[in-house]
Amino acid sequence: MPRFVQIAIVCLLVVGSTVAPAKGQPVIMATTTSTDNTGLLDVLAPAFKKDTGIELRWVAVGTGKALKMGENCDVDVLFVHAPDAETAFLVKGFGLDRRPVMTNDFVIIGPAADPAGAKGRLAGRALKAIAQAGAVFVSRGDLSGTHQKELSLWRMADMAVPDKAPWYVQTGQGMIKTILVAEERGGYALTDRGTYIKYAAARRAGSHVLKVLVEGDPNMLNHYSVIAVNPRRCPSVNHQAAVRFADWVTSAAVQELIGSFKLLGKPLFVPAAR
Amino acid sequence: MDYILEAVMQAFRLLSSGDAETFSAVWATICVSTMSVVLTLLVGVPLGFFLGYADFPGKRPVRTLVDTLLSIPTVLIGLLVYALLTRRGPLGGLGLLFTLPGIAIGQTILGLPIVVAMTATGVEALDKRLNPTLLTLGAGPRQILMTTLWETRFSLGLAAMAAYGRIVSEVGISMMVGGNIKWHTRTITTAIALETGKGEFALGIALGLILMLLAFAVNLATVGLRKRVKR
């Protein structure tokens, strides 16, 4: 048993030394799973550390939860993609100085046979066609940025969200799991392109693999922004570092870095800072 | 099926190549689970002893409450501890959110009912003549406590292992309170959740195997301890 106590003491010392500010407090960021899962942050964090000496730590959750963490003053800065929810966040005074960083796009994927005839349509019409055909549509159902985009597309199609329709499947899980459910059920899904690229690369070929059917609709753009948590409401946040990060990620050099980032050989993000 | 074979190979690759990310998660897991188990035993054994040894009004309902808490879901503990530790919560000033000690608080709450219930049962199951014997031999309260605990050492060991098993395998608390921050609070279980979310199923299974190896090593160590205690 003394061995356990020794380990515990060593742990406490190690943890204590990392909690204590070792030259420049780290900046803590809440972000969406897509920035983390694509590996973009693994490229940005070391570059940020090199340029400013500040360590970037992040918690990757759905945008809804990320905004909640900002509201609760648990993080210094947000890097999220749900413009409507972000505007509400700013209006309530929870955050300051929202700046666009980059875009990528959403796509609607589905079985190659395309039973609902969604291919090539605009996003809203494609959803309508799926609903009319009663084809399976698999939704995230978790208020993530992707789910919020889907909700706005239903509005655009002048349709109520088919919450209880038998063909409308809500997983409440992450993007890749949702795509896999769609594949198992031979259904359609809305996904960000990054997750689709990873999915398609991992599945190799086969008739069951879902294909991109709807893309290029301007309504399917996915806008990522950076928001500093309001220091007047949350005095404990590391606001200086948050602003440093916002300035840095929207600077010309870093925008170029984001534009040249490739996932499995395919470019993914388009710089959008003004 | 090929996931599983690939996973076993990947587990060995990660371990033999000294993959920094994996070892960071392994270290975080060892660290936080050790803290949690030590805390759980420090708090839980005296409570369990009291509950098994003393007679007081309302003892039955308390036992029932402890037994009910055995099935408390980890996500619920995670949410409660998050609400305590968030900077706008009652303990927000401590800055424990997104740290390993923060996770340890939640895991201690998870482990406590197990240790309390099993210690109490162990004390209750002792030979009823132990206590009068100790008293006639002129033992003080401290000696009674220590002797009784010594006599229950096997149930205590089992309680510690059961608590350790639940603590090392939970993901809800570590995810919610720790935040799965790379190099800091990413444990093996949150790493598995992350890799599964990324669709890297083989890597997820590989990490699971590494967790099992870790648990195996801990169990081996306790077997050794038990042998020494038996002598």
Q: What is the DSSP letter of A174?
A: -
C-alpha distance across the termini of chain B, in Å = 46
pLDDT tens for B149-166 read 888 988 899 999 999 999
Q: Which of residues 161-190 of A touch B (CB under 8 A)?
A: 174-177, 180
pLDDT tens for A90-146 read 999 999 999 999 999 999 999 999 999 999 999 999 999 999 999 999 999 888 889
Q: What is the pTM of this model?
A: 0.81
Judged against a pLDDT cut of 80, whether residue B21 lies above it is answered with yes
Judged against a pLDDT cut of 60, whether residue A17 lies above it is answered with no
* A2-104+221-271 belongs to CATH 3.40.50.300: no
B34 close to A12: Cβ distance less than 8 angstroms: no
pLDDT tens for B84-108 read 999 888 998 888 999 999 999 999 9
Q: Which residues of A are less than 8 Å from B97 in CB distance? A: 74
Inter-chain CB pairs, A–B, below 8 Å:
74
Query: Would you tell me how many other CB atoms lie within 10 Å of the CB of residue B40?
Result: 27
Q: Which residues of A are less than 8 Å from B153 in CB distance? A: none
Q: Do B88 and A15 touch (CB under 8 A)?
A: no
Q: What six digits make up the tokens of A103?
A: 């875009």
Q: What six digits make up the tokens of A122?
A: 């605009």
- For residues A162 and A108, give the distance between their C-alpha atoms in angstroms, rounded to a whole number: 17
User: What pLDDT does A22 receive?
Assistant: 43
User: What pLDDT does A228 receive?
Assistant: 96
Q: What is the DSSP letter of A137?
A: E
Q: Which fold would CATH assign to domain B2-230?
A: MetI-like fold (1.10.3720)
A171 close to A181: Cβ distance less than 8 angstroms: yes
pLDDT tens for B22-42 read 999 999 999 999 999 999 999
Q: Do B37 and A4 touch (CB under 8 A)?
A: yes
- Domain positions in chain A are 2-104+221-271, 106-220
Write the CA distances from B59 to A100, A204, B115, integer angstroms.
61, 62, 17
Assembly ipTM:
0.74
Is A201 touching B (CB cutoff 8 A)? no
Q: Do A18 and B184 touch (CB under 8 A)?
A: yes
Q: Domain A106-220 is in which class?
A: alpha beta
Q: Which residues of B are less than 8 Å from A5 in CB distance? A: 38
